[in-house]
Structure 1
Amino acid sequence: MANEYNLDILKDLKEKEAYSERSNLYGLEPIGKGTPFVESISSYICRLAYEHNVDVTTLLFQIVIPALPEYSVLKNRHSIAKAHLFLGIGKTANNIVSALEILTKRNDLIQLTFLNWKPIVRVALINNMKKWCPECFNEMNERMEELYEPLIWQLKDINYCLKHSVPLQKGCLKCKKEIPHIRTRMKIGYCPFCNLFLGNKVDLQHRRWLRIIPRDEEKLLAGYSDLLKNNNPSVIPTFLFVRDFFVKIKEINPSLSLTHLSRILSIKKEMLNEFFIGTKRPNMRFWTEISRYLEMPLHELLKPELDNDVVRYLKELEMNNLKRNFITEDEKLKMKMCMINHLEVGDLSVNMHSLAVAHKFDQRKMRQHYPDLYNQIINRYRDFKEQEKKQYYLNLTSKIRLILDDPNQEPISLKKMMGKFGTTEPTFKKYMPDLCEEIKHTYKEFLNKKNKENKKNQVEELNEIMYKLHKQGTYPNESIIMEYHSNKSLFRSKYYRESRKRILKDFGYE
């Protein structure tokens, strides 16, 4: 009984000790965990600093970095220029995550990086400067949600938002500066230089051609999204697994033709050869192509126990691909009728690729057997997109005309007008050349008028000051005038020096 009693006391003491542990920093819950939009570790650090009411660099250099196993490249506040390394797959990212997990007593912060998938992603993974989707920030703001930055935005390979299919922004619209991942007074969703909200308030509803993600990037987005959704794998792929993946392909299928495999995966034969002999690590494009053709999620493909099934299926794919070089007359007729029907009653917004995918046709065969129909569809879609652009710019012209005709609206420069409507100078000049010149001319006249008024006001103030000094019996030299004048650099301009001389003559000075 005594022993049992002592064991119970020991158990209670251990439980008490465990419950009495306190983390140095708040155990802040990461946003978007288990989704393609999981936040980045730099976003987490910024939110953590905000919760503790300190600057981001104060949190980093006084609390986080001293807790690192070693200081690595992070020696002083100037080293935050290398903050993109926090989000990568190197030693710095590993140390930062380890330190934050110790300080917050969380064990899931590795999911805010690609460290789990290090063997299959490239080292130069993260863009050096920040990228963001303005529409995502707008949605978060409108829904009163906490602002954060998904990790997928910061990938070098990714230039479009997965959710809205719009290009990611790479610079502040107001100050035109690129934004680093970490800055002393960083606030998520705002420019650290001019404090502009980074959400896009431009109406892009009619600009549908900007909402088409390029096909190659769409595949990469699918691959990266799958890895981020499953960023807590039970079995993490190793560098040995990647090497053995190619070894097993050759062992099980010694007659595999790299030419045919490169055709299947749309990857150059020379690059595939480097993957097989081990002189170059396979890139993300390789894994996404393999995943797509095998119709297998990428995280499932990377499980070592599936290796044999995968490489056998690759052999079947190659054989099927060779057989698909020939199509029957019935398939040809079906293809032809589909193309004719699309030309007669089909949706104009559907392009050739989408049509082929929807009906499971080979686009190359469509072009090979029915080049006239193929070109008609291509040209019709091109004309449709061009008309859509023109219509958009007609609507945009009306909006700009309202601004120009508004007497209460102060004229703005062409550059600011382009920023206001989210367009570029080449497109502006292409679709609205006359309006472009009018905006320039109007703004130039406005500046000239404003400059004349400014000069007049400055001279009037100068005259008033000189008159008062003259009445007081004080000679109005330049240094005395500058004590009273609102413009302390007035006499740097020859115009005002000449004006002073003229006023002196009027007062009887030689």
Structure 2
Amino acid sequence: MILKFKPLEIYDLGLPDIPKRSHLYHLKPIGISTPDVESLTGYIARLAQTHCMSTGQLICREVMPMLKPEYASDITDIYKNFLSEKESRAYNGTGLMASNVVNACQTLTGCNQLQFLTLLAFREVLYPKDLFRPFKAWCPICYQQWQMTGQVLFEPLIWSLNQVTICQHHLQSLQTNCPHCQKRMYFIEFHSRPGYCSKCGGWLGTPLISETQGLPEKEIESQLWIIRNVGKLIATVPNLSFTPKREIIAKSINDYINQLTPANQTAFAQICGISHGGLFKWITGNSIPTLTKALQICACLNIELIDFLNGQICELSNDIIVSLLTSHQQSKIRQYEEKPKRKPLGLRKIKQELLKALKEYPPKSVTDIRKRLGLKANSTFYYYFPEISRQISANYALYRKNDKHQQIENALFSQNYQDEYPPSSLTEVSKRIGIGIRALYEHFPEKCYEIAEKYAKYKLESALQKREEIRQQVRFAALQLHNQSIKPTSAKINQFLNNPGYMFKKTAQITLSEILHELGYK
């Protein structure tokens, strides 16, 4: 009998290839290759929410130690240097901060598409100034609809741009103030969370009431054109075969100048409504345009923004060229016709006017007289009538000095700052009466020193009182923990304090160290 053996399945006993694990959750960005791609700041807030921690904790514990290892244990410096207005805007921008944060987040999450959540691809063709608004903006109707339909709440990058003021879906103005606390928010704050106020935690969504809110039709049309061009620019970033260079801008502008006004940069600048100096810097490569100026040129020439920045030159139609040149010529004619034409004045007439001005009260300045007579420069007076002109100038200077002194005296002494408590600082007094600090010191130095000294004394007393309050709170919390057989630590004491930020202060740390010595922990 012949035994037949079935072939056995061969198993590979070697270790399988295990993909490298990321330190943080591999959170996928929303809206890549679409105009509604989310911003990097919004992604960081969502990432923190995924890990059940605040945005500030994620930045302080994970992101910033990778960028600045020396900040790993100093939360106060991180908060001041990386969660401020200027720095929070830079996260979504074109500079070094955006590049560093993108690299850090990609290393932590293993997601290699985070550069598409910024405008880093256009760092050499778009000037960063005026690119982003100073505070966060949002569409409350979008948030409301996303929540009702169970969609993920996020912050589109296009909302952060300074040039976009309405929502393209609901034709409603973007909001910048919380409806509950009326405060504005930076793009990244310690308690940032998409759809919620980082100050009070209130919900930012509202149901649709009126889509247009009475916005002018022309403004809506202009905004939709901007949103379409900027949205296409953002959506195209992942598909770019090369990063646009500064030389492309110079070449594009030169080509369009040759099409519209051959070899005439001044006329091209006037037609597009930009300065000739700025245009010259762009052509020579010494500078690059802002997004606002780039959109202005594209709107004038009726071309796409992405084509302009990528160097894809479009042939301007004859109708557009004729229309722009005709409009420019008519504008020059109107300016010439509207320019006031004055008859030339003789020296005798000018002298009579100057002598007449010497007797006027309140006295006029030489510039006022020159404008009244329609002359171009004050030098005419000083050349032909130097003595009279100097006398007019001296009278006006004396009048201004006495008048300003009287104004400051009335404003400064009309209110009794002696009885105020807490006392106002000199800066507050200056803002209240609308007069600069330098002018106050110049006219009433003794009064200024008195106000400043009183305020400095108050600040010193307040600081000492605050330090004592912190000492008492830390000591009380430490003793309570000790009585419960729990070692007092900064984290545990922080739960008992009125303000959690107290433990970051040097006074609290010194007090804790003293108590630990007293209780025998050290």
TM-score band w.r.t. shorter chain: 0.5 to 0.7
- The question of whether the paired residues in 2 share the 8 Å contact of 1:164 and 1:211 is answered with no
Which residue in the other structure is 1:287 paired with?
A: 294
TM-score scaled by length of structure 1: 0.54
Q: 1:38 to 1:71 in 2, by over 3 A?
A: farther
Mapped contact 1:165–1:212 kept (Cα < 8 A): no
Q: Percent identity?
A: 25
2:78 to 56, 70, 76: 76
Q: How many angstroms does 1:77 deviate by? A: 2.3
Cα RMSD (Å) of the superposition? Answer: 4.0
Structure 1: any 5+ residue segments left out of the alignment? Answer: 1-9, 327-510
Shift of the alpha carbon at 1:113? Answer: 0.5
CA distance in 2, matches of 1:156, 1:228: 15
Match of 1:65 in 2: 64
Q: Secondary structure, in 3 states, of the residue corresponding to 1:78? A: helix
Among residues 159, 183, 186, which one is paired with 2:189 in the alignment? 183
* Alpha-carbon contact 1:160-1:213 (below 8 Å) kept: no
TM-score (norm 2): 0.52
In 2: Cα distance, 1:47 partner to 1:234 partner: 30
Q: Does 1:46 align with 2:52?
A: no
Flag the structure with higher helix content: 1
- CA pair 278-314 structure 1, distance change in 2 beyond 3 A: farther
Query: Aligned ranges for residues 462-473 of structure 1 at < 5 Å?
Result: none
In 1, Cα distance between the equivalents of 2:310 and 2:249? 11
Quote the Cα distance in structure 2 between the aligned partners of 1:23 and 1:303: 35
Q: Provide the rounded CA distance (Å) in 1 between the counterparts of 2:218 and 2:327.
A: 29
1:350 aligns with none
Amino acid of the residue matched to residue 279 of structure 2?
A: L
With 256-265 and 229-238 compared, the bigger mean Cα shift is at: 256-265
Q: What residue identity is the alignment partner of 1:106?
A: C
Deviation at 1:134, TM superposition (A): 0.9
Are 1:116 and 2:121 an aligned pair? Answer: yes
In structure 2, the CA distance between the partners of 1:203 and 1:217, relative to structure 1 (3 Å rule), is closer
Check conservation: 2:171, 2:212, Cα contact below 8 A. no
Deviations 1:225-275 (A, max 9, x none): 121111221121012322343455678899333354345534455543443
Distance between the aligned counterparts of 1:274 and 1:228, measured in 2? 26
Query: Quick one: distance in 2 between partners of 1:107 and 1:227?
Result: 20
CA drift of 1:322 comes to 3.9
Structure 1 pair 317–28 and aligned structure 2 pair: CA distance change class (3 A): same
Q: What does residue range 49-448 of structure 1 map to in structure 2 within 5 Å?
A: 49-68=48-67, 75-79=77-81, 80-81=83-84, 82-124=87-129, 125-201=131-207, 203-205=209-211, 207-209=213-215, 213=219, 216-232=222-238, 233-246=240-253, 255-262=262-269, 264-269=271-276, 271-292=278-299, 296-304=303-311, 306=312, 309-310=313-314, 313=316, 318=321, 321-322=324-325
Moved more, 230-239 or 182-191: 182-191
1:186–1:246: structure 2 CA closer, same or farther, 3 Å change rule? closer
Instruction: State the shift of 1:318 in Å.
Output: 3.6
For 2:294, the aligned partner's letter is W
Structure 1 residues 210 and 202: CA distance shift in structure 2, 3 A = farther
> Match of 1:119, SS?
coil
Match of 2:29 in 1: 30
Cα distance, 1:43–1:258 mapped onto 2, change above 3 Å:
same
The amino acid of 2:137's aligned partner reads K
Task: Give the partner amino acid of 1:67.
Answer: M
Look up the SS of the partner of 2:219 in the other structure: coil
How has the CA–CA distance of structure 1 residues 235 and 13 changed in structure 2, closer, same or farther, with 3 Å as cutoff? farther
Q: Is the 8 A contact 2:260 2:268 kept in 1?
A: no
TM-superposition CA deviations, 1:53-93 (whole Å, max 9, x none) = 12212211211222237789994123312322211211111
| C-alpha contact 1:166 1:211 (8 A) present in aligned 2 | no
Q: Using the TM superposition, name which of 254-263 and 33-42 deviates more.
A: 254-263
Q: Deviations over 1:448-505 (max 9, x none)?
A: xxxxxxxxxxxxxxxxxxxxxxxxxxxxxxxxxxxxxxxxxxxxxxxxxxxxxxxxxx
Moved more, 20-29 or 120-129: 120-129
Q: C-alpha distance in 2, partners of 1:293/1:210?
A: 21
Aligned length: 316
Contact persistence 2:153–2:194 (CA under 8 A):
yes
